[in-house]
Amino acid sequence: MTKPLQNKVALVTGASKGLGKAIALRLAKDGAAIIVNYASDKAGAEGVVQAITKDGGKAYAVQGDVSKVENIRKMFSDIDGVLKTHGAKSLDILVNNAGIFPQGGLEDATEETFDNVFNINVKGLFFTTQEAVRRMAKGGRIVNISTGLTRFTAAPMLTIYSASKGAVDILTRDFAATLGGRGITVNAVHPGLTATEGTSGMTSNKDMVGHIVSGTALGRLGQPDDIADVVGFLCSNDARWTTAQHIEASGGVHL
């Protein structure tokens, strides 16, 4: 049977672990060739590539720290080489997953932390998208990973992170308006708390997890595959009439 993303090429940023890894594996399962971006975890990225190729898929690891525009441009120069090697004329899918979420509120925040969060979560997403759409086919797909914190609750200890994702939400809407004429859809996925390596500091707190689960309609903590499956839908032809949308994948928390 033909897979839904057969002959498509997808770039997933921050794909060496966590949500990015799960998304890369899901899109590969659907038939896409995956460009696995990583900033520093080369071994993790190569592990994702091996997992995909072991199952008969195609994947390529490409380094690139998206917090710096010059590194993004270098990354896309390498991606051009990957596309040529793969025999592809264009990029079909971009998942802007790379991001950081250090804890810290108003009183103890530092300029360095603020700049790091916005450089990766906002500037990195903006300029990665800019480069990607220059190579994107008509009818392409862009999915931005945001957070449910922009909707369902205040989180004073994650205020810089939440603010950066508020910017991502605006960019999602504006990119959708800009790129709609090319048939490119742009959507955002808003996870609730999800069990990944990056959230282990929070998910190891039994009291915090218990509080969140008790206020979640589906009664459990999110898993990476829960988010990856939503991204898979948005990248498919089934989502061709869905753009500028914010899809919450939280299990129904704080209803």
The confidence score (pLDDT) of residue 198 equals: 82
pLDDT tier for residue 151 given thresholds of 50, 70 and 90: confident
Does pLDDT of 1 surpass 80? Answer: no
In the predicted model, what is the mean pLDDT of residues 156-173? 95
Compute φ and ψ for 202, nearest 5 degrees. Answer: -90, -40
Q: Which of 96, 161, 186, 228 is catalytic?
A: 161
Q: Tell me: the pLDDT tens digits for 101-129?
A: 898 889 999 999 999 999 999 999 999 99
Task: Let me know if 161 is a catalytic residue.
Answer: yes
Condensed to tens digits (0 to 9), the pLDDT of residues 80-105 reads 999 999 999 999 999 999 999 898 88
Per-residue pLDDT, averaged over 70-79, amounts to 98
How would residue 178 be classed by pLDDT, with cut points 50, 70 and 90?
very high
CATH class of the domain at 9-195+224-249: alpha beta
C-alpha separations of 52 from 41, 83, 126, 226 in Å:
17, 17, 28, 19
What is the rounded average pLDDT for all residues in the chain? 96
Domain boundaries, the chain: 9-195+224-249
